Structure 1
Amino acid sequence: MRKEKLSFIGISLLIFSFTLTSCSKSDNATEIDASTEGSVSVTSTVQSKYTTAVAISTSGNTITLKSNGTPNHLSPYWGVGKPQYEAPRTGYTVNPGIISEHTLAMTIPTNPASATIKEETALGAIGMALNGVPIYNDREGGNVPVDAMILTSFDRGGAHVGPSGYHYHVSGEFTTTDDANLVGFLRDGFPIYGRKDKDGTYPTNLDAYGGHTSVTADFPTGIYHYHCSNVNYLNAGVYILKSGSYYGTKGTFTN
């Protein structure tokens, strides 16, 4: 009788263990083994998702994207009298200067991979949005964080004009709001998305660089990608696109 009881307990524990293992696997069904990094090409997505304002060419294991840096949407930074001009929002004051054309070129790897040493993003362009506008981090001139005063210089796109031209710092109506939109690519070749994952939920497993490896609408087999921050920045209703270090090795960006 005792042997039968012990046998029954053993079988029960085995079934319980199997159930836990099965649940664990299904809970992370969209997570992809990070060891696949470097095996996923971003070339076709870059070619299909960027607007026609961005000229794309490939050479060996790199992709070069060229644009004039001007947005394809309304902004007070176009200047009064321009077709895409709109007045600043109430309580906002635009910076001096207007949108002007620049000669921008960003070169990224076709198969981005994790860098051994993670480099901090710096002032200036850290990526390019799908419309060819540069993406900046959460810092301003003097390497100081974007503050409440600087926020009042942003247009509805989460952008303003600086010494190097028009650029995005935070989420906006023309890139991403509360969604899983593809915003663009950073200089290390990895894509950056809005605050949500493909399934409409907010990711809870982002690493120190603001990203994780999982499937996306554009990469059904999975890729490492960034998400813009899900923290309401300074309670202003905007979300920083990217802060901190790159996950991969950055390519060049010339202006």
Structure 2
Amino acid sequence: MRKVFYLVVLIGIVSCKKERVPVTPGNISIAEVVQANYKNNYTQEVSVQIGKQNLTIYSTGLPDHKTPYWGKGHEMYEEFPGRNHANMNKSMTSFNYKMTIPIYPNESAYKEETELGPVGMALNGVPIYNDYEGGGVLQENAWSTFDASRGHPGPREDYHYHSEGAYLTVNDDNLIGFLRDGFPVYGRKDRDGSYPNDLDENGGHIGITSDFSESIYHYHVSNEAYSTSGLYVIKSGAYHGTKGTFTQ
């Protein structure tokens, strides 16, 4: 009886492991698009290293646009929009971010949920977060501290984006960046100016974009306003592909 039980457990473990194996080989390279678009015109501290199977993007995480989190007196300072205000973290700190993602991103049979923390990186090197903050879903006490780009610093003064905003994307088809599974993320619209109506539960679909002439899976900013905020979150739900690494 005990041998039978061990056999069942072993089969269960093997089955779980098999679920995490990518099932769709990637055949579209993102290397050229990544190299052409990742840059920070202000800090000049974003770089890309191409390997054989993966590529790595390096960044300090500081934005290349105006924000009140630069601090008053800074040449890139601007006031908060509307009634928004600083959170307890009133400034930003430089980091040594390193995001490594596959050059040929794959669909994964196991769709891993995004978690608190960086889920991708914008083209200027700023981390992209999902719709969670401080261990729970975004609340007004968080989004009321967003600047015009809908970004703010976390507890470690780590500046990041949660939603659509100025200098990044506003109701358009802009390429925003890439998520940790290697797939690109775009604004709310498709390249023809329409809102996609065939997005899957993770906010993406397959098609041609302004940057990829061959059909590739890509995410879009949600076209549904989040809660009562009037904001459009960049990413919620699971990854379509196999998650790469993001260190700091």
Matched residues, number: 220
Which position in structure 2 is the counterpart of 1:169? 162
- Say whether 1:104 aligns with 2:97: yes
Which position in structure 1 is the counterpart of 2:192? 199
Q: Which amino acid aligns with 1:125?
A: P
Q: TM-score, normalised by structure 2?
A: 0.86
Q: Deviations over 1:108-147 (max 9, x none)?
A: 00000101111000010000000000000000112x1111
Looking at structure 2, the residues matched to 136 and 65 of structure 1 have their Cα atoms a distance apart, in angstroms, of: 17
Gap regions ≥5 residues in structure 1: 1-34
Given candidates 217, 237, 240, the residue that maps to 1:224 is 217
Residue 58 of structure 1, CA deviation: 1.3
Q: TM-score, normalised by structure 1?
A: 0.83
Given candidates 226, 229, 235, the residue that maps to 1:233 is 226
Q: Which amino acid aligns with 2:140?
A: A
Q: Which amino acid aligns with 2:27?
A: S
- Say whether 1:80 aligns with 2:72: yes
Matches within 5 A, 1:109-120: 109-120=102-113
Q: Which amino acid aligns with 2:146?
A: F
Q: CA RMSD in A?
A: 1.4
Gap regions ≥5 residues in structure 2: 1-22
Q: Which amino acid aligns with 1:155?
A: D
Quick check: which one's helix share is greater? 1
SS in 2 for 1:56: strand
Q: Which amino acid aligns with 1:48?
A: A
Q: Which amino acid aligns with 1:246?
A: Y
Residue 36 of structure 1, CA deviation: 8.0
**Distance change in 2, residues 1:37/1:222 (3 Å):** farther
Q: Deviations over 1:179-227 (max 9, x none)?
A: 0000000000000000000110000000111100000000011110000
Looking at structure 2, the residues matched to 46 and 36 of structure 1 have their Cα atoms a distance apart, in angstroms, of: 22
Q: Deviations over 1:51-71 (max 9, x none)?
A: 153110011100000000000
Moved over 3 A (4+): none
Q: Specify the structure having the higher radius of gyration (Cα).
A: 1
Whether the 8 Å contact between 2:203 and 2:221 is mirrored in structure 1 is yes
- Say whether 1:89 aligns with 2:81: yes
